[in-house]
């Protein structure tokens, strides 16, 4: 959520910067400013009213002591009027502040200056590539055929048990999943992240705090009886650990990692891009979350991105890093890097990580603050990234490492799988 002070002091800057995200904020900014002015005027009226009531209460006693009963009664009547006005103004202020909150949360985060204009994914900037992205040839099998050939993932069985997008991992497929989870978690812990095992459901306050509500409610599974949401990523519960917390400057950086299943409705997804492991309703992911001092958050963003890159390097997968343009960056992010692996059998790039700096946008919703060296209370910066999402990583491993004798397991995973080939 944007800070109201910014909208008071630099409304045109907000409007201009949000144009990079192809978001016309003109009317919304005007509405927020009008409601903010109205709220401040009401607060001043309430303060003035209270001062007059306090002064009048003392004056009434004095008038009675002096025997000026008529004047005292007149003043008492005035106090009754003031109380009615106070009640009316307080109710009005609640309504105005509620409407102000409803409006301001509709404004996306401001993009960083490095975010380029663009309409969509086709305008993202490639900033790094690594590995051989050549194709395997016409005989290469896509992973949905490979998993059937080696009986390691069963999509039809998942469809029977639940529905499309809920695969069942079997035998060496299940071991590969567990191996990737353990490898990613062990690596994160070795790099200074504290492992968290979070709940898989969150309440409405948590979903609001990280920006899933009101922007992405259509993408989340909602348990209506309890008003809980199944998490779309471990970012949500892990970041909410620090909701309504005031940190010390010496606490930074706070680095956490978490494995979780992730649940996404993926409404509107269809066609060849959703086949196999490419897009699921339930999938596994390791998330890294950092709470950082505002002065160091962009340095930390680069470190987190480089860390995610190192995992793909160790797995021997060809990949590239993109800096997202204004038309593709998320509602809450100020700057995002996407990491994509190359699927040699599908001959396409598959996103396996997004690493984002949200600056103070989430922290403002979360009321996540810290006291700086001067004792001033400030908003922290929040960052997160996938390190990594499993389905497409596994798809690329299966497709890129296929041989006539079977699928070669990346060397770094062999201590976890205890086998070096799937056949």
Residue 110 in any domain: the answer is: no
> What residues make up the domain containing 335?
121-422
Q: Tell me the pLDDT of the chain (423 aa) as tens digits.
A: 999 999 999 999 999 999 999 999 999 999 999 999 999 999 999 999 999 999 998 898 888 888 888 888 899 899 999 999 999 999 999 999 999 999 999 999 999 999 999 999 999 999 999 999 999 988 999 999 999 999 999 999 999 999 999 999 999 999 999 999 999 999 999 999 999 999 999 999 999 999 999 877 789 999 999 999 999 999 999 999 999 999 999 999 999 999 999 999 986 555 557 799 999 999 999 999 999 999 999 999 999 999 999 999 999 999 999 999 999 999 999 999 999 999 999 999 999 999 999 999 999 999 999 999 999 999 999 999 999 999 999 999 999 999 999 999 999 999 999 999 999
Claim to verify: residue 38 and residue 161 sit in the same structural domain: no
Q: Are residues 126 and 98 in the same domain?
A: no
Q: Crossing angle of helices 297-315/172-190, nearest 10°?
A: 140
Q: Are residues 87 and 150 in the same domain?
A: no
* Residue 116 covered by a domain: no
What is the CATH classification number for the domain harbouring 86? 1.10.287.40
Contacts 24+ apart (CB under 8 A), 404-407: 406/150, 407/146, 407/150
CB atoms under 10 Å from CB of 353, counted, come to: 29
Same domain, 79 and 190: no
The continuous run of DSSP H or E covering 153 comes out as: strand 153-154
79, 104, 129 - which closes a domain: 104
Query: Residues 196, 299: one domain?
Result: yes
| 77, 128: one domain | no
Q: Cα separations (Å) of 229 from 176, 217, 256, 286, 382?
A: 28, 9, 22, 19, 21
Helix (H) or strand (E) holding 237: helix 235-239
* CATH number for 350: 3.30.930.10
Instruction: Report residue 95 as tokens.
Output: 């309504």
Residue 115 lies in a domain: no
Predicted TM-score (pTM) of this structure: 0.93
Which residues face 170 on adjacent strands?
A: none
58/195 same-domain check:
no
> Which helix (DSSP H) or strand (DSSP E) does residue 338 occupy?
strand 335-343
User: Are residues 46 and 143 located together in one domain of the fold?
Assistant: no
45 lies in the same domain as 161: no
The secondary element (H helix, E strand) that includes residue 421 is strand 421-422
Say whether both 282 and 395 belong to one domain: yes
State the first-to-last Cα distance of the chain, in angstroms, to the nearest integer. 51
- Indicate the number of domains in the chain: 2
Q: Are 245 and 321 in the same domain?
A: yes
Say whether both 176 and 265 belong to one domain: yes
Local structure of residue 225 (DSSP, 8 states): T
Q: With contact defined as beta carbons under 8 Å apart, do 388 and 312 qualify? A: yes
Six token digits for residue 368:
């996540």
Q: Distance between CA atoms of 319 and 87, rounded to whole angstroms?
A: 62
């Amino acid at each position: 959520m944007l800070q109201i002070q910014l909208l008071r002091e630099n409304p045109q800057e907000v409007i201009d910067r949000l144009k990079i995200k192809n978001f016309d904020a003109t009317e919304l900014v005007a509405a927020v400013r009008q409601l903010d002015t109205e709220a401040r005027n009401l607060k001043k009226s309430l303060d003035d009213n209270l001062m007059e009531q306090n002064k009048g209460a003392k004056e009434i006693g004095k008038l009675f002591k002096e025997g000026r009963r008529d004047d005292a009664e007149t003043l008492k009547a005035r106090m009754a009027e003031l109380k009615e006005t106070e009640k009316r103004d307080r109710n009005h202020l609640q309504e105005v502040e509620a409407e102000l909150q409803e409006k301001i949360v509709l404004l996306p985060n401001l993009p960083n200056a490095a975010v380029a204009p663009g309409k969509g994914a086709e305008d993202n900037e490639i900033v790094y590539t690594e590995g051989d992205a050549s194709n395997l040839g016409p005989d290469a099998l896509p992973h949905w055929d490979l998993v059937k050939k080696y009986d390691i993932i069963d999509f039809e069985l998942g469809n029977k048990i639940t529905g499309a997008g809920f695969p069942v991992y079997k035998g060496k497929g299940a071991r590969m999943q567990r191996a990737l989870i353990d490898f990613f978690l062990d690596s994160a812990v070795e790099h200074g992240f504290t492992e968290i095992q979070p709940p898989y459901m969150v309440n409405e306050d948590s979903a609001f705090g990280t920006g899933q509500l009101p922007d992405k409610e259509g993408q989340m599974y909602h348990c209506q009886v309890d008003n809980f949401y199944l998490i779309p990523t471990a970012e949500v519960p892990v970041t909410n650990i620090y909701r309504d917390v005031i940190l010390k400057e010496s606490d930074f950086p706070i680095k956490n990692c978490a494995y979780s299943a992730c649940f996404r409705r993926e409404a509107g997804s269809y066609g060849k891009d959703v086949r196999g492991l490419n897009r699921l309703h339930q999938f596994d992911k390791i998330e890294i979350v950092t709470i950082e001092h505002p002065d160091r958050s962009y340095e930390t963003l680069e470190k987190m991105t480089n860390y995610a890159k190192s995992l793909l390097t160790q797995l021997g997968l060809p990949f590239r890093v993109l800096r997202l343009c204004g038309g593709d960056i998320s509602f809450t992010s100020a700057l995002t890097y996407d990491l994509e692996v190359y699927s040699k059998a599908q001959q396409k790039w598959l996103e396996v990580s997004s690493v984002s700096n949200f600056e103070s946008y989430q922290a403002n919703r979360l009321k996540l603050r810290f006291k700086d060296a001067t004792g001033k209370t400030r908003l922290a910066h929040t960052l997160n990234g996938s390190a990594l999402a499993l389905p497409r990583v596994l798809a690329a491993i299966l497709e890129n490492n296929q041989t006539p004798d079977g699928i070669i397991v990346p060397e770094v995973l062999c201590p976890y799988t205890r086998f070096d080939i799937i056949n």
